[in-house]
Amino acid sequence: MLKLENIEVVYDHVFLAIKGISLEVAEGGAVALLGSNGAGKSTTLKAISGLLAPERGEVTRGEVLFKGRDFKRLSAPERVRLGIVHVLEGRHVFGHLTPLENLIAATSMHRSRAKIDGLVEKVLTYFPRLKQRINAKAGYLSGGEQQMLAIGRALMTEPKLLMLDEPSLGLAPLLVEEIFEIIARVNRETRMSVLLVEQNATAALSIVEHAYLIENGRIVMSGSADTMRSNPDVQEFYLGGAGRVDYRNVKHYRRRKRWLA
């Protein structure tokens, strides 16, 4: 359904952040994009959602296809209408709005009142925690609640492809599990595709079928979730837990991969 073909992304007309990435997400599929800080994961998602423009970024090469159609020229809101939604890194809830208003703000593509009410109802059954804080200011919700709100808000657009940028960032493991379970459930129940960006590879690999590993703006490895999990390099550097990462080796690993590529 979504297909990137050898895309390059340049920031400020000079900085080449993505150096030829190809990837694919099938209809109803769940795919993870793994990699360390600065690898180009967020940039890849922005290239898909159209949020590069406000940051003076541009796709300078390659094709961005959704259902076989190149949509590079469409604005971000038009892509949301196509069914592509992007939950930004760092949640970005509308802090001065209530959770309910946050959800309402994401309904510009819907016409009927009844439909919107139905969607709010559905999102609140996915995230019952939000119900208790529905009239608080969203800025005062906890990190986990804000993440749930950001995902719920994205679901209000009735996406065919949900892209999540590091939803586990800064959250306690139990919360991460809760959120990932809900994502997996929506993916299963509605056949909405998921493209999940994570540094937390363990959590991500538990809910996707396929994963790509990205380093330095390039895909350095890809395979089924099981293959990735059992790969010794992935195990060593991405599944070892943050405390055990040996940066000298990470650098070496990157050097080797670049050399191979």
Partner 1 sequence: MDLFFELAELSISGALVGLMYTLIALGIVLVFKASGVANLAQGAMAMVGAYLTWACLTLAGAPLWVAIPLGVFAMFFVGRGIERVALRRMIGQPAIMVIMLTLGLEIMLRGLLPALFGPVKKRLDIGIDAAPIIIGPMLIDRAYLVSGAVALILIVLAVLYFNTRQGVMLRAVSDDQPASWSVGISVERAIGISWGLAGIAAAAGGVLWGSIQGVDWTLSLLLIKALAVAILGGLDSILGVLVAGLILGVLENVAPVYLERFGVSGTRDVVASLVILATVIFKPYGLFGREEIERV
Ligand X SMILES: Nc1ncnc2c1ncn2[C@@H]1O[C@H](COP(=O)(O)OP(=O)(O)O)[C@@H](O)[C@H]1O
Applying CB under 8 A, the residues found at the interface with partner 1 are 49-51, 54, 75-77, 80-81, 85-88, 90-97, 101-102, 104-109, 116, 137, 139-140, 143, 146, 153-154, 156-157, 170
The answer to whether residues 100 and 120 touch, using CB atoms and an 8 Å cutoff, is yes
Query: Is 37 one of the binding residues for ligand X (CB under 6 A)?
Result: yes
Q: Which range of residues in 8-16, 100-108, 182-190, 222-230 is near ligand X by CB under 6 A?
A: 8-16
CB-wise, 2 or 119, nearer to ligand X? 2
* Residue from 6, 26, 53, 55 binding ligand X (CB under 6 A): 55
CB-wise, 77 or 230, nearer to partner 1? 77
Pairing of strands 2-11, 84-87: unpaired
Query: Is 205 one of the binding residues for ligand X (CB under 6 A)?
Result: no
CB-wise, 42 or 157, nearer to Mg ion? 42
Query: Is 44 one of the binding residues for Mg ion (CB under 5 A)?
Result: no
Cα separation, 116 vs 121, whole angstroms: 9
Interacting partner of 37 out of partner 1, Mg ion, ligand X, none (Cβ under 5 to 8 A depending on kind): ligand X
> 102: how many CB neighbours lie within 10 A of its CB?
22
Q: What is the CA radius of gyration of the chain?
A: 18
The answer to whether residues 21 and 39 touch, using CB atoms and an 8 Å cutoff, is no
Strand, coil or helix: 50? coil
| Least CB distance to Mg ion at residue 110 (A) | 30
Q: Which of 249, 257, 173, 177 is nearest to 216 (CA)?
A: 257
| Least CB distance to ligand X at residue 50 (A) | 14
145 is written with which tokens? 């609640």
80: amino acid identity, one letter: V
82 is written with which tokens? 């196509």
Q: Which residues pair with 196 in a beta bridge?
A: 32, 164
Cα separation, 17 vs 38, whole angstroms: 9
Interacting partner of 97 out of ligand X, Mg ion, partner 1, none (Cβ under 5 to 8 A depending on kind): partner 1
Which residue carries 């439909």 as its tokens?
A: 115
Interacting partner of 120 out of partner 1, Mg ion, ligand X, none (Cβ under 5 to 8 A depending on kind): none
* Residue from 7, 9, 35, 42 binding Mg ion (CB under 5 A): 42
* Binding stretches for ligand X (CB under 6 A): 11-12, 15, 17, 35, 37-43, 55, 57
* Binding stretches for Mg ion (CB under 5 A): 42, 89
